[in-house]
Amino acid sequence: MHTEPVDGVEPTFLDEAPIGPDIDRVLVAEYGLPYHVDIDRPEEVPADETERTIDLAERVLSTGGHRTGLGHHEEIRQSMTAWAPDRGEDRAADPGYWRRMMFTLSPRERNFGCLNGEPDERAKKAKTVLAWASDCLKSDVLAAIEQSQFDDIEQAWRSAVEATKERREIEAFAANPPATFAGWTRFDADHEAVEAAYRAENHGTPVVAAVFRTDADKDELDAQEFTMERWINAGGNPRAARPNRFCVTAGSGDGAYARLRSHLQTFDVTPLGE
């Protein structure tokens, strides 16, 4: 097994780790976010190297089939049994628990890749599984499994950074809706319920997309698109006009401004003049 540390990450089967422990900071810079922006660790990302070791062992056990050369659960059990140190055997690399951990594995753990027990026991089981895999499975398959793990970790961080960037952009949009956005032009609506309104020609039809308060006595906001004709006939009152399209968000943001912003980005519109 390879155990060369790269920026604090110790790969097990790869020659070097494709990402470092500061992958979140690398992606923050890549996406142009301010350096001080903190990104919460995604739930699916292991919290530390011990958790990553456990996750890797579970991935190895879950792979099975023709990729590992052990196509049946019984073949895996037999391979592990044959590999496990004999009672009293002094194997140089054995930290002293390989035999005990190997025979502690339940069929469910072994067959479905879900290690149980207290954190310390799970870690010992994982290290035992990885030691067995290193001796008994194909190195290129194990390297591919670990590469996939690193790819999943990077993608989880990337998705988290993308979501943070989108949230910040939505907040900036809501705080100060721009004069033009994705081909739409903001205009001053005459009705007191309207917080922000944009107009454009959408598929040949002049339309208005707006964020407005749904009730005069409440702060609840909604976002909808109206044809210009219906907007004018309703006197610019979005509560009275029949919607043409409901605004929905295609991203991770929520709220009326998130839906409006997503809606403005969805369609290939033509700017509408004064």
**Three-state DSSP state, 144:** helix
Residues 144, 41 within the same domain: yes
Closest CA to 119 of 62, 64, 49: 49
CB 162, CB 33: distance < 8 Å:
no
Closest CA to 184 of 269, 256, 257, 274: 269
* Domain stops at, among 140, 169, 198: 169
Residues 156, 206 within the same domain: no
Residue 138 in domain: yes
What is the model's pLDDT at position 91?
A: 87
Residue 197 sits in which domain range?
180-266
Residues 28, 158 within the same domain: yes
**With bands split at pLDDT 50, 70 and 90, how would you rate the model's confidence at 64?**
low
CB 215, CB 236: distance < 8 Å:
no
Q: What are phi and psi of 74, to 5 degrees?
A: -65, -35
Strand order in the sheet with 245-246: 180-181, 184-186, 194-202, 205-213, 221-227, 245-246
CB 226, CB 241: distance < 8 Å:
yes
DSSP letter (8 states) at residue 202:
E
Residues 104, 48 within the same domain: yes
Say which residues have a Cβ less than 8 Å from residue 2's Cβ, sequence separation at least 6.
Answer: 11, 12, 13, 14, 15, 16
CB 11, CB 146: distance < 8 Å:
yes
In 156-269, beta strands by DSSP E: 180-181, 184-186, 194-202, 205-213, 221-227, 245-246
Q: Is the pLDDT of residue 252 over 70?
A: no
Say which residues have a Cβ less than 8 Å from residue 171's Cβ, sequence separation at least 6.
Answer: none
SS (H, E, C) 5-31: CECCECCCCCCCCCCCCCHHHHHHHHC
* Domain stops at, among 119, 149, 169: 169
Residues 156, 201 within the same domain: no
Convert the pLDDT of each residue in 109-131 to its tens digit: 988 889 999 999 999 999 999 99
Q: Is the pLDDT of residue 2 over 50?
A: no
Does the global pTM surpass 0.85? Answer: no
Task: Report the number of distinct structural domains present in the chain.
Answer: 2
Q: Span 69-97, mean pLDDT?
A: 86
Residue 25 to residue 264: CA distance in whole angstroms: 31
CB 226, CB 205: distance < 8 Å:
no
Residues 40, 88 within the same domain: yes
Residues 143, 61 within the same domain: yes
Residues 82, 145 within the same domain: yes
Q: Is the pLDDT of residue 210 over 90?
A: yes
Q: Angle at which helices 119-136 and 73-83 pack, to 10 degrees?
A: 90
Residues 199, 138 within the same domain: no
What is the model's pLDDT at position 197?
A: 97
Residues 76, 193 within the same domain: no
Residue 136 in domain: yes
* Domain stops at, among 136, 169, 202: 169
Convert the pLDDT of each residue in 152-206 to its tens digit: 999 999 999 999 999 999 999 999 999 999 999 999 998 999 999 999 999 899 9
Residue 150 in domain: yes
As given in the structure block, the two tokens for residue 130 are 């990885």
Task: Report the b/e string of 84-122 with b at 16+ CB within 10 A.
Answer: bbeeeeeeeeeeeebbebbeebeeebbbebebeeeeeeb
Residue 11 in domain: no
As given in the structure block, the two tokens for residue 125 are 């089981």
Residues 77, 161 within the same domain: yes
Residues 93, 195 within the same domain: no
What is the model's pLDDT at position 219?
A: 80
Residue 21 to residue 239: CA distance in whole angstroms: 51
Residue 198 in domain: yes
